[in-house]
């Protein structure tokens, strides 16, 4: 069963296959918070402790069916993660590493809204809480399930590397591994503005 994926305005649409294979996590890092400020609607993206609810899966499980031209990406630094969002309505879509051989995508909850079921029903409970030292408060400790999820996650990344399926990704050119659009890298002053907002 596929789970729908869309930006707020509905220009970009697609789906995530194998929702049973994902790991849900919350990331409290300063960079994820800065990205939310960059998009201008931190209240829609971050929870009360500054966490971003993310569904981690393999890029080969993500398919876009329309509106790809609205999918763009930015990075806080020259070497930072690619943070994908839409040009039509600034909906955060996901984060990916810069190296497509590291087969991972963290889909952000804002593109996974489904009126018929909650994230919990679709993808199961949150199993990882990471970068909790940057949280605004003390999130519930989940160290055991976080470690188990990270091990499971890394083994799926390694499998995708070995069997070559990392090339099946909507975010990178399959032959060269370059992102489908060149990332907008923030200037020092732009970066200062969004990190100071955190
Ligand atoms: Zn949109
Ligand atoms: Zn983060």
Backbone angles phi, psi at 106, to 5 degrees: -105, 100
Dist CA 153 CA 26 (whole Å): 14
Residue 9: predicted pLDDT: 98
Tell me how far the alpha carbon of residue 39 lies from the centroid of ligand 1, in angstroms. 13
Give the pLDDT band (50/70/90) at residue 114: very high
Return the residue matching tokens 């994902």.
Answer: 22
Instruction: Kindly give the pairing relationship between strand 105-108 and strand 52-57.
Output: antiparallel
Tell me how far the alpha carbon of residue 75 lies from the centroid of ligand 1, in angstroms. 20
Dist CA 144 CA 141 (whole Å): 9
The conformation of residue 135, written as its DSSP 8-state character, comes to: S
Q: Which of 74, 107, 90 is nearest to 185 (CA)?
A: 74
Burial state string for 160-197 with b = 16 or more CB within 10 A and e = fewer than 16:
beeeeebbbbebbeeeeeebeeebeebeeeebeebbee
**Strand positions, DSSP E, the chain:** 3-6, 13-16, 23-27, 52-57, 62-66, 71-75, 82-86, 92-96, 105-108, 126-130, 184-185
- How far CA 178 is from CA of 66, 72, 175, in Å, comes to 21, 13, 8
**Across the chain, how many H-helices and E-strands are there?**
5, 11
Give the pLDDT band (50/70/90) at residue 141: confident
Dist CA 128 CA 91 (whole Å): 23
Tell me how far the alpha carbon of residue 132 lies from the centroid of ligand 1, in angstroms. 30
Ligand in closest contact with the CA of 45: 2
Q: Which of 140, 106, 135 is nearest to 123 (CA)?
A: 106
> What mean pLDDT is predicted for residues 144-155?
87
Residue 106: predicted pLDDT: 97
- Quick: pLDDT tens for 117-133: 999 999 999 999 999 99
- Whether 47 and 53 have beta carbons less than 8 Å apart is answered as yes
- Quick: pLDDT tens for 157-167: 999 999 999 99
Strand partners, 95: 83, 106
Tell me how far the alpha carbon of residue 152 lies from the centroid of ligand 2, in angstroms. 19
Tell me how far the alpha carbon of residue 29 lies from the centroid of ligand 2, in angstroms. 4
């Amino acid at each position: 069963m596929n789970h729908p994926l869309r930006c707020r305005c509905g220009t970009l649409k697609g789906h995530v296959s194998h929702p049973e294979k994902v790991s849900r996590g919350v990331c409290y890092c300063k960079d994820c918070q800065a990205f939310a400020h960059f998009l201008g609607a931190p209240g829609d993206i971050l929870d009360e402790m500054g966490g971003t609810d993310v569904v981690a899966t393999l890029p080969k499980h993500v398919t876009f069916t329309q509106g790809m031209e609205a999918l763009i990406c930015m990075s806080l630094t020259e070497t930072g993660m690619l943070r994908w969002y839409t040009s039509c309505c600034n909906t955060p879509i996901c984060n990916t590493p810069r190296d497509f051989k590291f087969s991972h995508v963290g889909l952000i909850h804002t593109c996974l809204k489904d009126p018929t079921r909650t994230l919990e029903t679709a993808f199961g409970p949150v199993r990882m809480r990471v970068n909790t030292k940057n949280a605004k408060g003390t999130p519930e400790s989940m160290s055991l399930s976080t470690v188990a999820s990270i091990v499971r996650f890394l083994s799926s990344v390694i499998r995708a590397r070995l069997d070559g399926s990392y090339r099946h990704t909507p975010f990178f050119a399959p032959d060269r591994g370059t992102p489908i659009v060149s990332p907008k890298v923030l200037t020092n002053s732009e970066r200062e503005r969004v990190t100071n907002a955190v």
